[in-house]
């Protein structure tokens, strides 16, 4: 081998190793942040959400979660990060039961218009005074809970990808 090929090969191996280390560190930090943020979730598990969504349909998270995990998505129309996460949640709602809870985002009519304008199709409960958000210990948007058999299995806040949400669903 020529010296140039050896140098290039060594460089690629070094970059690959650094990339793997970076991904491992990023994963550890992400899990740590999720654990820290989940401290605000009450231990008494009041996660028996029964409500009426913005389209007048009854929603019962505990009942939905008996057969498969449910995505409970706390978000807001004014939340910048939610604009990136909401399409992922909407896509996953085709495969998993999903209940959105919009915090301080206006009237049901405004939310219906928002859903129609953005092509969103998941069930959504309006929480104009952040009552449900406080009951669930939500202090950041977006926050995603994975609920299985009526119990919270996973919580994450902030930006997350479809792969991140899927991983939490599969691990629940």
Does residue 158 contact residue 140 with C-beta atoms inside 8 Å? yes
The predicted structure's pLDDT at residue 22: 73
The predicted structure's pLDDT at residue 45: 55
**If the chain, 172 residues long, is cut into consecutive pieces of 10 residues, what is the mean pLDDT of each piece?**
66 82 70 61 62 95 93 97 96 96 96 97 96 90 92 88 87 77
Task: Tell me the pTM.
Answer: 0.78
Residue 103 burial (10 A CB sphere; 0-12, 13-18, 19+): buried
């Amino acid at each position: 081998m020529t010296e140039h090929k050896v140098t290039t090969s060594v460089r690629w191996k070094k970059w690959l190793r650094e990339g793997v280390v970076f991904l491992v560190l990023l994963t550890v930090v992400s899990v740590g942040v999720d654990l820290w943020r989940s401290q605000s979730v009450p231990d008494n598990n009041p996660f028996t959400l029964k409500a009426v969504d913005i389209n007048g349909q009854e929603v019962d998270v505990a009942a939905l979660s008996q057969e498969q995990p449910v995505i409970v998505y706390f978000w807001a129309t004014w939340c910048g990060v939610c604009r990136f996460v909401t399409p992922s949640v909407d896509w996953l709602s085709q495969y998993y039961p999903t209940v959105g809870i919009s915090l301080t985002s206006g009237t049901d009519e405004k939310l219906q218009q928002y859903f129609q304008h953005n092509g969103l199709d998941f069930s959504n409960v309006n929480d104009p005074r952040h009552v449900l958000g406080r009951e669930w210990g939500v202090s950041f948007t977006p926050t995603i809970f994975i609920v299985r058999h009526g119990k919270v299995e996973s919580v994450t806040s902030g930006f997350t990808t479809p792969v991140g949400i899927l991983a939490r669903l599969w691990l629940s």
